[in-house]
Amino acid sequence: MSQKVALVTGGTGGLGTSICHALADSGFTVVAGYNSGGNHEKAKAWQAEQKQAGYDIHVAYGDVTDADSCASCIKTVAELTGGTVDVLVNNAGITRDGQFKKMSWEQWDEVLSANLDSMFHMTRLVINPMIEKGWGRVVNISSVNAQKGQFGQCNYSAAKAGIHGFTKALAQEVARKGVTVNTVSPGYIKTAMVAKIAQEVQDQICSGIPVGRFGTPEEIGRTCAFLVDDQSGYITGADLSVNGGLHMS
């Protein structure tokens, strides 16, 4: 059983929970990073739920848009696990959808901060310990809408496309240090984020998915577990699409 430590940002959310489960099933000591608007009780309740389901997962508060808060999250991880982060899944993200002609700076800025600046803050804190250890895995959660663009998501598509540029550049810098960096690009997955879309828009999107359904969070968890496996060391700088065929590149 590996004692490696995995940190999943947005770990208590829809995708995050499944990613935490998949990494725990793979033998990692898992920490779910959470923000939840500072609602620590909500995170504790989530943790208790996981325990009931047989998953012993730590929780660590951190606002991924804020460098100091990220540093304190990493400090909490060290206190909880006694180790440094071996696997980082940059999963935290938000949407503020709307047509660009009506988009405010706040809608742009909030999405870029939470989805893209967060990569800098969190990865910057864990990359040197990974290099020193000679082993590490970074998985960045992007989106099909980075690859194909999406009406109403100029902010989100831009941020999520930026993620893959970051992945490919960093992957080259750390390739010889035993550290891999990859992107997973989910399509439309059954989470609260997708449930927020008006039902008629959801139906229209679903009708365009070749597999004929939205994906499940478990399908993303499994993909992350595959990428962080010890035997996946030759996969780096890749972008793995898990989108039911919605976009084929």
Give the CA radius of gyration of the chain. 17
Q: Binding pattern to ligand CAA, positions 118-147, x when CB under 6 A?
A: -------------------------xxx--
Of 145 and 236, CB closest to ligand CAA: 145
Backbone angles phi, psi at 161, to 5 degrees: -70, -35
The residues in 162-191 that bind ligand CAA, with binding defined as CB under 6 A, are 186, 188
Minimum distance between the CB of residue 42 and ligand CAA, rounded to whole angstroms? 22
Work out which of 80, 174, 193, 238 binds ligand CAA, going by CB under 6 A: 193
By beta-carbon proximity to ligand CAA, the closer residue of 44 and 196 is 196
Tokens 């999963």 belong to residue = 91
Determine phi and psi for 136, rounding to 5 degrees: -175, 160
Residue type, 21: H
Residues 81-100 that bind ligand CAA (CB under 6 A): 95, 97-99
| Residue 55 falls in the annotated catalytic set | no
Residue showing tokens 């995050």: 16
Q: Which of 119, 131, 120, 232 is nearest to 174 (CA)?
A: 131
For the chain, what percentages of helix, strand and coil (3-state, to nearest 5) are there?
A: 55, 15, 30
**Which stretches of the chain bind ligand CAA, using CB under 6 A?**
95, 97-99, 102, 143-145, 150-153, 156, 186, 188, 193-194, 197-198, 201
Question: Annotated active-site positions, please?
Answer: 156
